[in-house]
Amino acid sequence: MKYLLRRIAISNKNSLLRAVAVAAAGSALLYSSNVDTNSRPTVSLSIPRITGNLSSLPWGTPHLSPATSDNLPYFSRVAPDPAADITNGASNDDSRHSSQCLGRDTIANAAAKVGPAVVNLSVPHGFHGLTLGKSIGSGTIIDPDGTILTCAHVVVDFQGMRASSKGKVEVTLQDGRTFEGTVVNADLHSDIAIVKIKSKLPLPTAKLGSSNKLRPGDWVIAMGCPLSLQNTITAGIVSCVDRKSSDLGLGGVRREYLQTDCAINAGNSGGPLVNIDGEVVGVNIMKVLAADGLSFSVPIDSVSKIVEHFKKSGRVVRPWLGLKMIDLNEMIIAQLKERDPAFPNVDRGVLVPMVTPGSPADRAGFRPGDVVIEFEGKPVASIKEIVDIMGDKIGVPLTVAVKRAKNVVSKLTVVPEEANPEM
């Protein structure tokens, strides 16, 4: 304290009091015993004694994490150690995001859970027996039977729409083992493929999580083999949980991606995006070349549905209605009503701005400007809900309720067709 007072130029009593108040951090009882500015001031500092359990105080006992900056210590609040809750028998709330308990080893522990199941894929490209090069990528073993999840563009020739190198893939595990894998299924629209290997010894596997639980700002880890550098790990956050393919200028079937700022490069394609619980929540697929921190992954919930399609029919079956649709919210509805007073009174629904001529929707009687409010008897508020209700129903009549100008409600019956795989 004496050192502090010597370092501060004191012009009057108030300056002295402010200086000592800073040193006392506002937690003590402070007063000056001499008010004569011409004499040497003296300061009395009285710190009240606290009795009882500190945890009984209104603000509780803070968890402090020491750090240093320019040799001056400071403290900051951090989340409590989850192990303490387990030791004390506290219940574990699964709905609580694990990012609240991010610690020094959190990312390392998550990577350690998935790492052994991440593989390097190499597919040679040749012409009349001549090897002209190879494509490299990553994958994840998701089943002890040797099922590997990866990207279609790693193992499939996009231009010829056929499997490269007769469907054979060189697979290298983290432990150094190598296998010859076979391309079992590939869906070019979603860019998801399945490769299979056979092993007499047990294979490591990764656990699949749920991408629906992700929020912008959640920590994630990108794993893979960029530029054939195996066992590479980068970390970042989720930037967007529902980046639409149209936002990226991609045509064809509507798709949604997870956007992250994890660093991914050539060779990361097909590798897992992992949450800090060590669960796969996405498949890394691409990045924006002209920018940093713009990487995209296919959500694992969508991938799981694609895998189910592969198991059921060997391909992904997509119903097609011939509608362009837009999710409505309060702001969009207010703007549309401002432009057109006849716009129907709705608080939710899916707007149909365009109907493809000759499509199933056109034959069913859909009109531009319709608002879909029910699908198969269920209220709908998003395109995703409509897609989930349709599932893989092809040639099955579906009932739809639409609301039109001046609040006219019409019941329509539409029969979906299978989408053209080359669309």
Mind telling me the catalytic residues?
153, 191, 269
Strand partners, 29: 46
Please tell me whether residue 15 adopts helix, strand or coil conformation. Answer: helix
Burial 245-257 (b: 16+ CB within 10 A, else e): beeeeeeebbbbb
Strand partners, 354: 324
DSSP calls for 304-366: HHHHHHHHHHSS---EE--EEEEE--HHHHHHHHHH-TTS---SS-EEEEEE-TTSHHHHHT-
DSSP calls for 228-261: G--SEEEEEEEEEEEEEGGGGT--SS--EEEEE-
On the CB side of 188, CA atoms within 13 Å amount to 14
Phi, psi values for residue 179, rounded to 5°? -140, 160
Strands 168-172 and 178-187: antiparallel
Written as one letter, the residue type at 389 is I
Cβ contact 203:162 at 8 Å: no
Cβ contact 269:137 at 8 Å: yes
Residue of 167, 169, 250, 241 lying closest to 210 (CA atoms): 241
Under 8 Å CB-to-CB from 140, ≥6 apart: which residues? Answer: 114, 117, 118, 119, 148, 149, 150, 206, 270, 271, 272, 280, 283
Ramachandran area for residue 267 (φ above 0: left; ψ -120 to 50: alpha; else beta): left
Distances (CA, A) of 21 to 25, 26, 76, 192: 6, 6, 21, 63
